[in-house]
Amino acid sequence: MLSSSVLSQENLGAVDTQSKEMRSQSTGDAKPPTALAKLYLEDGTCLVGLSFGCHESVEGEVVFTTGMVGYTESLTDPSYQGQILTMTQPMVGNYGVPDRTKMDEFGLPAFFESKKIHAKALIVQDYSYHYSHWNAVSSLGDWLKEEGVAGLCNIDTRMLTKKIREKGALLGRIEVDLNATPPDFSQMTNPNRSHLVSEVSTKEVVVYGKGNPVKIIAVDCGMKYNIIRQLVRRGAELTVVPWDYPFAAELHKFDGLFLSNGPGDPTMCVATINELKKVINCSDDQVKPIFGICLGNQLMGLAAGGKAEKLPFGNRGQNQPVLNHQTGECYITPQNHGYHINCETLEPGWKILFTNANDGSNEGIAHETRPYFTAQFHPEASCGPSDTEFMFDTFLEACQQANKKITFPVRKPAPPMSSAKKILLLGSGGTSIGQAGEFDYSGGQAIKALKEEGKEVVLMNPNIASVQTNMDNKSHSKADHIYFLPVTPDFVEEVIKKEKPDGIVVSMGGQTALNCAIAMYEAGIFEKYNVQVLGTPIDVVIDTEDRQLFSDRLNEINEKIAESYAVDNLQDAIEAAKKIGYPLMIRSAFALGGLGSGICHNEEMLKDMGSKALSLSDQILVERSMKGWKEIEYEVVRDAHDNCITVCNMENFDPLGIHTGDSIVMAPSQTLSNQEYHMLRDTAIKVVRHLGIIGECNIQYALHPESLEYCIIEVNARLSRSSALASKATGYPLAFVAAKLVLGIPLTDVQNAVTKKTQACFEPSLDYIVTKIPRWDMTKFEGVSTQIGSAMKSVGEVMGIGRTMEESFQKAIRMVDPANKGFYPRYRFTKEQLLEELTVPTDRRIHAIAQALYEKALTVEEIHDMTKIDQWFLRRCESIVKTWDKMSQITLDAVSNDLLKEAKINGFSDVQISQAVKNEVSEDEVRIKRQSAGIIPKTKQIDTLAAEFPADTNYLYMTYHGIENDVDCANGGIIVLGSGAYRIGSSIEFDWCGVSAIRALRDMGYYATMVNYNPETVSTDYDECDRLYFEELSRERVLDIYEMDKSNGVVVSVGGQIPNGLSIPLDKAGVKILGTAASMIDNAEDRKKFSSALDEIGVQQPRWSELSSLGSALTFANNVGYPVLVRPSYVLSGAAMNVAWNDEQLRACLDEATEVSQEHPVVISDFIEGAAEIEMDAVAKDGDIIAAAIHEHIENAGVHSGDATLVLPPQALTAYQKQRVRDATKKIAKRLNITGPLNIQFVAKGTDVMCIECNVRASRSFPFVSKTMGVDFIEAATRAMVGADTSAMNLPGLDTRNRPANFVGVKAPMFSFTRLRGSDPVLGVEMASTGEVACYGSNKEEAFLKSLLSTGFQMPKKNILISVQEKFIDDATHCVYQLHELGYKIYATKKTAEALKKNDVPCEMVGYPTEKIHGIEGPNAVDMIKSKSICLVVNIPTHESTRLEDNYLMRRTAVDFGIPLLTNMNLVKCFTDAVHKYEMDAGKMIGLHPKTLFEHYASETDSDAWTDPAEYH
C-alpha cells in the first residue's frame, strides 16, 4: 500500500505526458462474446448465457460471492477449488487482469493468490469485454481462455443467488453443446466428496523469508499467497509444509504453528486433525502459539472437540460483520467457506472468540489459557477489507513471548451514552444550490430515529416546504416543537433559552447548521446553557473545515492533502501560488458545494477569484491542481465505540476539476481494482478514527489514474448531498443510523432497516449500478457562464438504477430532462464547438461526447485525451452507439428479437428505438412488438446485501437484465407520480405534496405506490409508501408499472409539471387518471384553449391573441401597446416567458418561446404594469371548491410567482378584489370540472381583477398555505380524487374569512446567484429562485423580517448604497428617509443622489462603476462594495434604464462579495417599514419573538380557532 504524500509536479503531469502505449486498455477492436452455452442446475433449472472464457463444458458446485471487487484474487483463491463461482457484482472484467509473469519479492505472482485459477468456472451477469486499468495487460476473458476456465455471462445472477440462498449450494454443469441431453446429476461427482485439500496443498516443503527471526511452520491446506506475504513481511521465516505433514514432532524447532485456509470438507483432513490433537494437548512446557484461518479454524475446532457442519450456502464475500467476544468490536471481514464449527461440543478450556453478526455462525475459537486462536474469516484479505490484519501481529508477538495469552488491542472505552432527553435539531433552511432537499430527508430520518429512542425533539427550520416541518397526524415521526425561524446564532440562542434543551444535533442541517453551531461554540453559547453537542464534537468539525488544521491533523498520521497553503488575505495567496505554480486550485473554508473555489491559470485569475472567495470566507486554501485525476468518494459511519464502516463508495465519471455535485457519479466504483478500492477504504477508516468523527461523514479523494498515488481532498463531518445519494444507492439509511449513533448507541445495536434481521454494522453489497447525473438550469440566467468546474452550479440531480452502466446511464440521462431521449446528440455543435465542449466542460458535455461518438467525429482515445474520462466509461458509451447503428440500418419489422433485447438491455427507451430504426415508427409500435416477443422489464429489489439474505423490502427498480421478478404483482393500489429532479420551478415543495398524497392514501387504507427518481427526497424513502419504484417518470415506464401491478389509478396532480404533462399520453394509453380529467388539464395548460375558456365563462383576463406568425404578433403588440407578455404552453416556472417592450425584444422572445413549446400554442397578451398579483390555492371536487386560500405578492406583477414574496392572509387587498378572485375561481373550477388541487393567478389594478393563469395541479405554495391555514390541502385533494369525505377536515372554503386572524405568514424566495457567476441578479417573469422559506409573526413586518433573515440576508450595520430608476424616486425618498432616521449613512449614485438631496434626504454621492474606467476620481460604487464599506445595495432598474452596465456591475459585485441586495421597490418599502417598526438598531433583533407554529395557532381566540391543541387540522 502506498500512502499519499505531497505530490510532485512531475507526478501530477504524468496523466498528460504518459504515452498511449503505456496505457492498458482494450482497443476498439474488442468484440463481445457470441457463443451460447447452458447452465444446468441439479434442481432442474436451465439458463442460457454467452460463453466468454474457455468454451468447454464443466461441472462443479455453484456458489456465489457478494464482493464488488477482486475477481482476480477470488478466482485464484484455492478455497474455490471445484466450484463454479457466481459473482453478484453485475459487471465483471472492468479493470482487466494484471501481468501473470510479474513476481513479488518472494518469487510469488505479484497480483494473484496462487499460480492458477482454482474455480472451475465463472458466472457473471455482464462480462466487460472492454477493460481499462493502468495495471492490466489483458481482458478477463483472455485470461480464462489461457487457463482453460469456462466463463458464462448474460445470466440473471440475482435470481441464481436467491436460488442458492434458498436451496443451498447446488451442483451445476455448464454445457457448450446446446443439443446435448441434460446432465444426470445422480452420476455427477460432488466436489465436496473429493479430497480438495490434497489437490491444492503444496507437495513439498518450501521456506519463505529465510533468515527472518520468527520461525513459523505453516500447514498448507490451500494457502493464499497473501498469507505468506503478511507473515514474512512481519519478520517470519515461514516453512510451508503439505497438509498431511507430521508437524507435531517438529514443532519444537519453531516459534509457532500456522494453519491455512483451504477448500472442501474439513473432516477429510484426518491426518492434519490428528497432528493438531497431539499439539494442542501437549504439556505446558511444549506449548507454541497456533493461529488458524478459515479451514484452519475448522481443523482446530475439530481437534478441540467441535463438529463441522455445512452451511446452506456458505459465507463468501467482503462484508461479513464479525463480533469479537473479547473486545466487543465488530469487524468487517472477507470470507470464503462452506462449513463452520458447531461449538456446543468443544472440550473444556476452549471458548468462542468470534461470531458472525448476521447468521450467528461461529467465526473463531480460542483457548482460555494457551495462545491458540483461530479466525473463520480472512485477516490477510486480498480480496476484501484488511480490518483484521492486526491478527498477524498478535500471532507473531505471541510467538516471541513464550506462553503469552492471546490478547487483542484494547479500545479506548466509549464515552457514556448521552443522557439528553430534549434535543434541539438544526435544519438547513431554504433549498439552494449546494444545499437542497437532501437535508429534508436527512433531518426527517434523524427525527424518526430520535423519537424511536424516546427523545423530545425541538426542530428549527424555516423551510416551509420540507416534510420534516410537518405537524399533522399523518406524520408518524414528527418533532415535538417546530420553529420556523432563521438558523442563526441569535435566533438559536433565543430558542435554547425558551426550550432549555440538553442536547443539540448540528450534523443534519448542512453547512447552514454547521456554520451556525461553530459560531455558537466559539462564542461559548452551548457551554453557557449547558447544551451538549451530540455526535462529532465541534472542535473536530473545525478541524475538517479549517484547511490548515485539516492538513495538520492528516500529517499526524502521514496522510496528506495535495501541497497547499491556508491563507486569509490575497497577498499571501499570491505568495503561495509562487511556491506551487499554476494552474492551481483555491478552496474556501467553511463553504458548501465548492462555493468560492475554482482553478486559477494565472495571477490575474487568482486575484479575481481569490478576492471574491475571501469576501465569502475568512480563509482560503491555495492548492496544487490535480485536474485529470480520478475523483473517488466514500461514505463512512463510526460510532462512539470505534466501530467504523464504509457504506458506499462512488466514482466520478468526470475526472477531478469538476465539483462532485456537478459530476456524473456512479456507485459502486467501476474502474478501481481490489487494491485501489481497499487502499482508499482503509485510509477512510484510519482518517475518520483519527479525527474522532461520530455519526456519518464522507471523504473525497484524488486518485492518480496511472498509479496508486492518492490525495485526500476533504472530509465533510456531517450529512451531505452524497449521503442522501449513498442512502438511496444502497438502501442503507445513513441519517437514521447516524442519529442513533450520536446518542452513543453502538452500530451493533442498530437494526438493518431493509432485512429487519441483520444489524447495521455491515457494508452493503450492490448487485446493480446507480448513475447520478446533475440537473442544471443555467439557461434561465442571463450572462451566466455555462462552464462547470470546482464550484457547484447544478440545482438538482437524478439517480438511474440498472444492472449495467448502459442501462443505468441512459435512464439517468432521460430523467434529467424529458427532452433527453437518452445518450444521443441533443444539440448540434460545429467541430470547433465540439472540441471546446470536450476540452472546457459545460452542462452540455455529455451531449458533446454523444455527438462525437454518433457522428464518428472522434475516437474513444481522442475523447479520453481531451476529457481525461476513463476509457472504460467511454467504451460503455460507445456500445450504446453501436446498438443504435445496428438498428438504424433496418426497419422495425427487420429488428430481430435479439437486437430488440440488446437495445433494451443497453437502456434504450421505446421512443429511442422508434427514432433509431429506418422509416421512423411510433412508440406504441415498438411496445407492441417488444411485448409480443416477451421482452418486458423485470422488477428487482434493492436489499443492501445482493440477495444474500431474504429482505422484506418494497424498494424496487426495473431492468431488462433478468428473467424473474423479485416481487409479485401488487394487484391494485394507487400510483402517485413524484416530481423528478429538483429544478428551478419544481423543488422540495412538490416532494412535500407527493408525500402528503401518499400518506393520505395509506391513512385511508389504500395500497400506495410512489414513482420517482430523485435521491434527495423524502418521497423516495421506502418507508413512506407500500411500494417505491425508483424509476423514470415516462409514459413507457409508468405503463409498465401500471400493467404489472394492475393498479387502480394514477395521481398526476401533486408532482408538478412532469407528471401533469403525462396526463394526456397516459390517458390515451388507457390509464385511469385520478382527479381532473386529462382533457381538462389540457384545457388549462394549452394557453389558447384556456384563454378561450375564460372568454366563454366571462372571467376577465388581459387582452390576448394566439401567435400564428411574427407579423400577427407585431400587429397585436402595436394595437394594445407595449409591454406585451409572451407565454408558451406546458411549461414550468415561466420557462421562455418574457415581457417585450419593443418590436426587437418581441422577435427575440418569440424565437425562444416557440423553441420550448414546439408542440403547443404560444399566446401573446397585454402586460399590465404596476398591477398587484394575487394567487388562489384551492381544492375542488367535481367542479365545486371545497378548500380555498387567497394570498398576495409583495412585489407587483412582472415577478414570477415562484420568486415573489407571499403574504397570507393578504394585508393589502380590498374586500372587492378578494370577492372578484373568489367568483372567478368558482367559475373556472366549474368550467374545467376540477377534482383535486388547483392554483390560479390574478393581476389587479384599479377595479380590474384579471386571471392570467390556472394550474390544474398542486403549486409551490401548497405547503405554505397548508401550514399557515392549519389544514393539509393535499390531503383534501387526495380525498377528493378517490371520492372520500372531507367534511371533518374543517377546510377553509370560499366563504371563510379572516383565517388566520391573529398572525401572518410570509414566504420568501431563496436565490443562488452567488454560485452562478456572471448571472444578473434581477427578477422577471421567468423564475430564478432555487428554494423558499417562511416565517410567522404577529404582523406582516415581523414575519417579513424573519423570512428575509432566513434567506441568509444580513442586516445592514452602517452604510447603504441606493441607485434607483427615476420613476421610483418618490417611493425611494420615503424609504431612504426611514433608513436615515435609523442612523444609516446613505450613499447614492449621481442621479439618485441629486433627487434625494432635492427632497432634503441627506446622502453622499458615489461614482458609477464605469466612471473609474474613464479615469474619473472619487469614491466609486463598486470599489465601496468590494471593500465591504457598503452593507446593503438597493438597485432598482426598469426597462427605461440607460446605465445598464453600471446597474449590472453594482448588482453582480454585491452578490459576488456577499453584500445583501434588494432590486424591487415594493420589497424595499416592506423592508424599510419593517426595520422602522422594529427599530433594528445596528442589525440587532428587537421584538422578533421566537414562537412555534402552534403558539401562533394558539393566539387565535376560541371563536377563531380551527385547530386541535396538538394537531394542525
DSSP single-letter state for residue 824: S
| Selected catalytic residue, list 337, 378, 847, 1513 | 378
Q: Which residues pair with 420 in a beta bridge?
A: none
Q: Look up residue 1056 and give its three cell numbers.
A: 408538478
1149 given a catalytic annotation:
no
Q: Using an 8 Å Cβ cutoff, are 115 and 83 in contact?
A: no
Beta strands in 450-570 (DSSP E): 456-460, 481-483, 503-505, 532-533, 564-567
Write the single-letter amino acid at 334: P
Question: Taken in order 136, 137, 140, 144, is the CA torsion positive or negative?
Answer: negative
Shortest CA distance to 431 belongs to which of 541, 510, 524, 521? 510
Q: Using an 8 Å Cβ cutoff, are 881 and 912 in contact?
A: no
Q: Using an 8 Å Cβ cutoff, are 304 and 353 in contact?
A: no
Distance CA 328, CA 762 (A): 15
Between β-strands 1162-1166 and 1104-1106, what pairing exists: parallel, antiparallel or unpaired?
A: antiparallel
Q: What value does the CA radius of gyration of the chain take, rounded to a whole number of Å?
A: 34
378 given a catalytic annotation:
yes
For cell 472505552, the residue is 413
DSSP single-letter state for residue 1481: G
Q: Using an 8 Å Cβ cutoff, are 958 and 937 in contact?
A: yes
Q: Using an 8 Å Cβ cutoff, are 600 and 627 in contact?
A: no
Shortest CA distance to 491 belongs to which of 535, 461, 467? 461
> What is each CA distance from 1198 to 1113, 1125, 1360, 1446, 1464, in whole angstroms?
20, 9, 26, 22, 11
CB within 8 Å of 927: residues ≥ 6 apart:
910, 1036, 1039
SS (H, E, C) 564-626: EEEECCHHHHHHHHHHHCCCEEEEECCCCCCCCCEEECCHHHHHHHHHHHHHHCCCEEEEECC
How open is the CA angle 1052-1063-1197, to the nearest 5 degrees? 75
Helices (H), ranges, 418-457: 438-452
Distance CA 271, CA 1249 (A): 98
Distance CA 1306, CA 1293 (A): 21
Q: Using an 8 Å Cβ cutoff, are 80 and 347 in contact?
A: no
153 given a catalytic annotation:
no
> What is each CA distance from 1017 to 313, 486, 772, in whole angstroms?
37, 22, 14
Work out the burial of residue 1215: count CB atoms within 10 Å of its CB; fewer than 13 is exposed, 13-18 middle, 19 or more buried. exposed
| Selected catalytic residue, list 73, 175, 363, 380 | 380
Q: Using an 8 Å Cβ cutoff, are 615 and 1428 in contact?
A: yes
For cell 392514501, the residue is 1001
Distance CA 1177, CA 1448 (A): 35
| Selected catalytic residue, list 153, 221, 269, 294 | 294
Write the single-letter amino acid at 73: E
Distance CA 1255, CA 1235 (A): 12
- Tell whether omega for the bond before 937 is within 30 degrees of 0, i.e. cis: no
Q: Using an 8 Å Cβ cutoff, are 950 and 165 in contact?
A: yes
Between β-strands 97-98 and 136-138, what pairing exists: parallel, antiparallel or unpaired?
A: antiparallel
- 3-class DSSP assignment, residue 361: coil
What stretch of H or E contains 1504?
none
Between β-strands 214-219 and 256-259, what pairing exists: parallel, antiparallel or unpaired?
A: parallel
> What is each CA distance from 1154 to 206, 984, 1126, 1141, in whole angstroms?
80, 20, 10, 19
Catalytic positions are 294, 378, 380
